[in-house]
């Protein structure tokens, strides 16, 4: 459940007690009825309001001064205040110019009029500051707290006029924490670190190119990745890379289970992709992660850097292996070498086992089809082979996960059958990805095993 102050602020933003009815309905219809439901709803409200404000900003902006003067509640209050100041100003002016008034009273009148002039100037500059902030056209990062995002859209919205508080020293409004803030006390929210997002994507692309061209990873490529990553870590808005999307990848969502376990609000689907299964839980955990980042940014930076470099190396390895396979195929084309009967039998058994969904037995391991369409690796004795164990943020041991091969990795390993390359090429191009199936342990058919596959 969202903090009550956030809910109150969202309701104020969507309140339309003084708005024109039709315009008000456009603003409040999606949210008012259910804003109490929590953080996720408020996040949606902010996104919808920001989209509308962006559309409005492309049109002629109505000066906030005119918005105030049209406000049925604030106009009389502000007008009364200005009239009082004007009346007091003229009285002080008469006092300061009167002949029979003492020097001290004249001095006090002049000083008070200077203060009144300052108040009027403050009102004017504060009102103008709202118009300036509406011209700010940045892509707001999800790394900003929900309260900061809410304050930003509240301040840029017409309904701000409903929440203005007129004081002697200036104009104020209630922020998301229900605290009075000076109208000109505005700090723009953090923008999306688009340069960093682009670099992350571009570096992966250049790494894949290096792998395809056979350039060694160690040395220039590795140093390039390290250098770019270190530069990004220094950016003031680095946390954008944790909470904003990098292509289809979102670091915070991907790592939610690591920090919140079964209460993460996400789970990994059969296709290996992370899915948000509880929007409210996920949204609340995202806010908790932002607080955790503020307390220990260096720990999160180190974690992101490690994940990024590991992913970069994996992309390189995949591209490099693809290049090697293609080169091997090219070098062996047209050799006229014919496979032996035993080699052909291995090839046929592999295709048969693959297409039937049966286990594939290699020289060293057994490969069992899993639910995602890949293969889990077992020993010849049937014991699962696990990745090395790790520790969580509390240094508690986390058991290693099941080692597996993807569809493409399995086919790549199959080229090591010892067949002439033209037949290995045929293997790579003729076998389709048959997708996820039921666990092969439920298959009651007699297994056709692939015997003594080198390297498997």
Confidence at residue 440, expressed as pLDDT on a 0 to 100 scale: 41
| pLDDT value, residue 11 | 46
More confident residue, 43 or 89: 89
* pLDDT value, residue 427: 54
The pLDDT confidence band at residue 5, using thresholds 50, 70 and 90, is: very low
> Does pLDDT of 442 surpass 50?
no
Task: Decide: 384 and 402 in contact? Cβ < 8 Å.
Answer: yes
- pLDDT at residue 332, rounded to an integer: 59
What angle do helix axes 297-332 and 421-430 make, rounded to 10 degrees? Answer: 130
78, 112, 174, 443 from 117: Cα distances, Å: 16, 9, 25, 88
36 has a pLDDT exceeding 60 = no
pLDDT at 33: 36
Torsion angle of the four alpha carbons 232, 287, 390, 369, in this order, in degrees rounded to the nearest 10 = -100
Report yes or no: 232 and 302 within 8 Å, Cβ to Cβ: no
pLDDT score of 456 = 40
pLDDT higher than 80, residue 394: no
Higher-confidence position of 72 and 434: 72
pLDDT of residue 48: 72
CB-based burial, 308-341: b 16+ in 10 Å, e otherwise? beeebbebbebbbeeeebeeebeebeeeeeebee
Look-up: residue for tokens 């689907």? Answer: 269
Quote the pLDDT of residue 410: 66
Paired strand residues for 267 = 275
Q: What is the pLDDT of residue 27?
A: 40
Higher-scoring residue by pLDDT: 259, 39: 259
Instruction: Give the C-alpha separation, 257 to 401, whole Å.
Output: 14
Tell me: pLDDT of 426 over 70.
no
Q: What is the mean pLDDT of residues 403-414?
A: 70
Of the given ranges (21-25, 107-111, 216-220), which has the lowest mean pLDDT?
21-25
What are the angstrom distances between the C-alpha of 17 and each of 28, 30, 73, 161?
11, 17, 10, 11
Residue-level pLDDT at 88: 85
Residue 372 confidence class, pLDDT cut points 50, 70, 90: confident
Query: How confident is residue 294, by pLDDT bands cut at 50, 70 and 90?
Result: very high
Mean pLDDT of 176-197: 86
Q: Is the pLDDT of residue 60 over 70?
A: no
Under DSSP, is residue 139 helix (H, G, I), strand (E, B) or coil? Answer: coil
Q: Is the pLDDT of residue 444 over 80?
A: no
Could you tell me the two tokens for 39?
A: 């953080």
DSSP 221: I
Determine how many CB atoms are found less than 10 A away from the CB of residue 239.
25
Torsion of CA 69, 72, 76, 79, to 10 degrees: 0
**pLDDT digit string, tens, across residues 303-352:** 999 998 888 888 888 888 888 888 777 665 555 555 566 666 666 666 66
Nearest to 332 by CA among 259, 206, 424, 400: 424
* pLDDT higher at 264 or 408: 264
Q: What is the mean pLDDT of residues 86-96?
A: 85
Which range has highest mean pLDDT (72-76, 117-121, 401-405, 423-427)? Answer: 117-121
Tokens standing for residue 110: 């002049």
Q: Taking 50 as the threshold, does the pLDDT of residue 16 lie above it?
A: no
> Residue holding tokens 């195929």?
329
Q: Is residue 81 a contact partner of residue 169, using CB atoms and an 8 Å limit?
A: no
pTM for this structure? Answer: 0.58
**What span, in angstroms and rounded, lies between the C-alpha atoms of 263 and 282?**
9
Q: CA 307, CA 311: separation in Å to the nearest integer?
A: 6
Q: List, in sequence order, every residue forming a beta bridge with 268; answer none if it has no partner.
A: 274
> Distances in Å between the alpha carbon of 109 and those of 100, 114, 123?
14, 9, 21
Question: Is residue 456 within 8 Å of 363, Cβ to Cβ?
Answer: yes
- On the question of pLDDT at 441 being above 70, the answer is no
Span 442-450, average pLDDT: 39
Calpha distance 32→35 (Å, rounded):
5
Q: What is the mean pLDDT of the chain?
A: 75
d(CA 368, CA 388): 20
Residues 19, 25, 28, 34, CA torsion sign: positive
Phi-psi domain of 395 (left: phi exceeds 0; alpha: psi -120 through 50; beta: other): left
pLDDT digits (tens, 9 = 90+) for 127-185: 888 887 777 667 889 999 988 888 888 788 777 888 888 888 889 988 777 788 888 88
Pure H helices in 247-380? 251-254, 256-260, 279-295, 297-332, 341-356
Question: What pLDDT was estimated at residue 455?
Answer: 38
Q: What span, in angstroms and rounded, lies between the C-alpha atoms of 387 and 374?
A: 16
* Helices 4-14 & 146-155 angle (0-180, nearest 10): 20
Indicate if the pLDDT at residue 238 is higher than 90: yes
| CA nearest to 49, candidates 180, 161, 160 | 160
408 Cβ neighbours under 8 A, 6+ residues apart? 318
Taking residues 256-284, report their average pLDDT: 88
């Amino acid at each position: 459940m969202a903090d009550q102050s956030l809910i109150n602020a969202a309701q104020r933003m969507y309140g339309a007690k003084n708005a024109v009815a039709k315009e008000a309905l456009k603003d409040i219809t999606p949210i008012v009825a259910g804003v109490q439901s929590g953080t996720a709803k408020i996040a949606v409200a902010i996104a919808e309001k920001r989209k509308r404000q962006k559309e409005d900003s492309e049109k002629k902006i109505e000066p906030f001064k005119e918005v105030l003067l049209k406000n049925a509640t604030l106009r009389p209050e502000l007008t009364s205040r200005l009239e009082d100041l004007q009346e007091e100003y003229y009285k002080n002016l008469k006092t300061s110019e009167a002949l029979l008034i003492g020097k001290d009273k004249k001095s006090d009148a002049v000083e008070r009029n200077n203060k009144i002039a300052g108040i009027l100037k403050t009102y004017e500059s504060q009102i103008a500051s709202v118009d300036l902030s509406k011209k700010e056209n940045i892509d707001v990062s999800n790394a900003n707290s929900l309260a900061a995002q809410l304050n930003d859209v509240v301040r840029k919205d017409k309904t701000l006029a409903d929440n203005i508080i007129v004081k002697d020293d200036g104009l104020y409004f209630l922020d998301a924490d229900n605290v009075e803030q000076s109208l000109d006390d505005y700090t723009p929210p953090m923008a999306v670190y688009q340069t960093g997002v682009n670099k992350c994507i571009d570096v992966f692309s250049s790494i894949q190119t290096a792998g395809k061209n056979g350039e060694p990873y160690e040395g220039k490529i590795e140093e390039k990745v390290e250098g770019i990553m270190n530069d990004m870590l220094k950016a003031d808005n680095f946390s954008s890379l944790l909470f904003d999307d990098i292509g289809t990848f979102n670091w915070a969502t991907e790592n939610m289970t690591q920090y919140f376990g079964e209460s993460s609000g996400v789970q990994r689907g059969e296709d290996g992709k992370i899915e948000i299964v509880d929007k409210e839980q996920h949204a609340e955990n995202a806010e908790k992660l932002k607080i955790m980042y503020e307390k220990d940014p260096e720990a999160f930076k180190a974690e992101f850097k490690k994940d990024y470099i590991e992913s970069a190396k994996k992309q390189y390895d995949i591209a490099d292996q693809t290049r090697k396979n293609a080169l091997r195929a090219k070098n062996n084309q047209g050799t006229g070498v014919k496979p032996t009967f035993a080699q052909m039998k291995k090839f046929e058994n592999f295709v048969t086992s693959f297409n039937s969904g049966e286990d594939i037995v290699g020289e060293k391991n057994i490969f069992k089809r899993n639910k995602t369409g890949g293969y889990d690796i077992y020993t010849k004795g049937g014991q699962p082979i696990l990745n090395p164990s790790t520790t969580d943020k509390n240094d508690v041991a986390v058991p290693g996960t099941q080692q597996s091969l993807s569809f493409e990795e399995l086919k790549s390993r199959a080229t090591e059958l010892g067949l002439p390359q033209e037949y290995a090429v045929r293997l790579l191009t003729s076998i389709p990805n048959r997708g996820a199936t039921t666990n092969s342990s439920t298959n009651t058919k007699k297994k056709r095993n692939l015997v003594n596959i080198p390297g498997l």
